[in-house]
Structure 1
Amino acid sequence: MQKRFPSPSPSLSLSSYGRGWSANRRTAIAASAVAVLLAIAGIVALLTGGGNGHQAPDIAAPAPTGSPSSSEAAPKPSSGSGSVPKPAQIAEPVAYAKSAAQMLWSYDTRDTSRDQQLAGMRAWMTTEPKYADWASVSGQVPDPVLWSRMADQDQHATASVTEGHYPSAFKQALADDPSAITEAYIYVVTVNGKQQIAWKKGGGGAEERAVTLAVQCRPSHDCTLAAIAPSVTQ
């Protein structure tokens, strides 16, 4: 069970998106997850092809109104990346996904603007447009008004990762058709960990986190982030 904690504002969490989604959107997410795991060759099309196939990591509070559009463009590199870590140079899918999850669960509004946060996250993405689902990643960042409220409270978060693994259904699908992975080299990895959040006047708390990522790991290349995938955590 997820641990709850007090907050200076009910929505001041970087990963608070998704609570307000409609039943139709949640149904689309579930359908996408099943299709992904039944046919690995189709995973990229499902992750990059539409607006209803995204799910945020485990969430702590209702989503704020005015969340960013799923088509929000990445900020220009010149905006810098603030405290966002540089992309991990790792060629193994699970290890890379663990580093990417830690990055996604960490932020510091004291020295990082919203545009810098987005720019830093964008640097982790695959540069192959066919396989990059930027909307599923950028959608984790609160809208400008909420980010400003977080900054007013000096809100920041660090994260620790406890484990990462391939979901059993993904492993079974891969075993059934090993050659399917060789078109895009997209791997599905579920990561579990904990996020520590703090703000002014000693406020803070901790939450368990889980996220399923699609990472691209082509042979002889470092991995990159392709998408936040439909959540399949077994």
Structure 2
Amino acid sequence: MLLAVAGLLAYLTRAESSAPAKPSPAPKSTPRTASHAAIPGKHAAVAAPPKTSDPIAFAKAATKVLWTYDTRSFSQAEHVAGLKRWMTSEKKYADWTSVSDQVPTPVLWSRMHDNDQHATAKVGEGHFPQAFKTALAQDPGAITEASVYAVTVTGKQSIAWKGSGSGAESRSTTLAVQCRPDKACGLVGVLPSVAP
């Protein structure tokens, strides 16, 4: 029963990697010198995070941005920079690698750009996984140190590309979200498997 919470705690408190994460270079085939977010009338590569203390509402919004991208208008580096704004400011808990692993590599992004590939997401429902709820009911104080919640979100991602190509698939993910009582939620990471 406590396995899910123990797994989440182990995930959150694991030893940090000694190798620093390498910044991703921008694709070479599509150089861009100005940030589109700074140009009047242009939308940002990634929507800004909502100011909420509700872990489910935040997780649903975070899932939407994780499943949404536009290689036609933004570089991979711009997309990654936008996602970084969603992360918790508490470095002890932030797992940037699990989030950045959701983004295509610069080389793949460049190829997707050549095909005008872009994706939108429709988020359905979000909930605390049953094992997480059960563990919290048994030990309500266990969450007070980190204030990190596991939230499973379901929805659909639609992808389109040059030549009227398109496709859609149902998706699910479980995110770790930090919601302190005195500040807005932040993304901790994407769990390696979906918790029902």
How much does 1:167 deviate? 0.5
How much does 1:71 deviate? 2.3
Residues 96 and 189, structure 2, Cα contact 8 Å, conserved in 1:
yes
Partner deviation per Cα, 1:192-216 (whole Å, 9 max, x = no partner): 0000100111100101111100000
State how 1:43-54 maps to structure 2 within 5 Å. 43-46=11-14, 49=16
Equivalent in 59, 65, 69 of residue 97 of structure 1:
59
State how 1:1-234 maps to structure 2 within 5 Å. 35-38=3-6, 41-46=9-14, 49=16, 71-73=21-23, 82-234=44-196
| Greater fraction strand | 2
Percent identity (aligned) = 52
CA distance in 1 between counterparts of 2:118 and 2:104 reads: 13
Partner deviation per Cα, 1:145-176 (whole Å, 9 max, x = no partner): 11100000010000001100000001111112
**Equivalent residue of 2:152, what SS?**
strand
Q: Which runs of 5+ in 1 are unaligned?
A: 1-33, 52-68
CA distance in 2 between counterparts of 1:207 and 1:70 reads: 34
Q: Matched residue pairs, number?
A: 181
State TM-score, norm by structure 2. Answer: 0.84
CA distance in 2 between counterparts of 1:227 and 1:74 reads: 18
State TM-score, norm by structure 1. Answer: 0.71
Q: Aligned-pair RMSD on alpha carbons?
A: 2.5
1:74–1:148: structure 2 CA closer, same or farther, 3 Å change rule? closer
Residues 125 and 226, structure 1, Cα contact 8 Å, conserved in 2:
yes
State the 4+ residue runs in structure 1 displaced beyond 6 angstroms.
none
How much does 1:220 deviate? 2.4
Structure 1 stretch 204-213 or stretch 37-46: which is displaced more? Answer: 37-46
Residues 153 and 200, structure 1, Cα contact 8 Å, conserved in 2:
yes
Q: Which runs of 5+ in 2 are unaligned?
A: 26-33, 38-43
CA distance in 1 between counterparts of 2:12 and 2:3 reads: 11
